[in-house]
Structure 1
Amino acid sequence: MADREGKDLPPSLPHEEELTFRYSREERLSMAPPRDGSRIDSRPFWRNTSLMILLLDVVVIVIMALIYHFFLAPRDWEVIASGYVWRLEAVSYQGRILGSVKVRRDDERVVPVQVLGYAGFQKEELSSSGEPLFSGIAGEGEGPWVFTFSLPLPESDSQSPTIYVLLQVGQETFLLSREPRRID
């Protein structure tokens, strides 16, 4: 016998035999350790670290979103200005919208301020040029101070419309808005 270059190969040794492979599934299974199922079925999710990290990421993101939504998000019905916290409350009752602007001090060193309030259902129609719906002075005496007002409920809307209150506090002007709660 010759290789590729034409050189003779040594003859095979007499004791070399051709290898044979035998496979018996039953024999292999009989040598396997007994399966109790505890390793496969117990906590399969926690064995996979990628899935565990993914789950923890999702949980952290959901918790952060809930904290922002309930505690940190700005509210349209509350504003801090001129050293006071201004909060709009409104309810719909017997064809009218009853509203109040509650004021409390945010800082003890604030001075009393003149407040003029204009309310309506369209923020484009609100202006500080007409007659104010309510007026008063916040900051005199003990707080909190409450300014109340009442508006007729528009007949065209079946639901309570959003109410807008334009507050003129000293030289500052800011807008509060809220959808009234229904009390029937």
Structure 2
Amino acid sequence: MSKIDPSLFSGLPSAQPGEACPRCGAALQLRHGKHGAFLGCSAYPDCDYLRPLKVIEHDDDVEKPLEGSVCPLCGHTLAIRKGRYGLFIGCSHYPACHYVADINDQGNGDPACPVCSKGHLVARTSRYGKRFYACDAYPGCRYIINDKPVAKTCPDCGFGILTERKGRLCCPQKGCGYQQ
């Protein structure tokens, strides 16, 4: 019989021997699942209480607070955050405030949609990280382009926008070959 307690070297906090289940009063045991270790009730089929060992916090995704910037919704400071689709600007008071801004937005005016004339072409990022421009009146208008739009009309066909492609202005309308 070994004199060393194996729970000292497991790297995980173990349940204290006297700790009881808050639902039924039975002892809690250290269990292992596909997502890691957790504490579960020893009277499992009758009581399904479990508690994770790690506490999940929302502050892990905060990269850097932006000094001098204020959230327009709640007044707290804004921060550069890391999310599922890359970096973005969000409120530092996250669970209470859900303000989000695009990190690539320079604040210049978005050109009007040439198809519906109701919405504007705004920059979006796909789940693969590719940039595209789509109408913000989305369910009603599904216009989308890959190149950056410029708010100038085409002199040849009169289409509402031109696109910036390889340093030149081009007409995105099919059949029109205008380039500047």
TM-score bracket, shorter-length normalisation? under 0.3
Q: TM-score, normalised by structure 2?
A: 0.18
Greater share of helix residues, 1 or 2? 1
Q: TM-score, normalised by structure 1?
A: 0.18
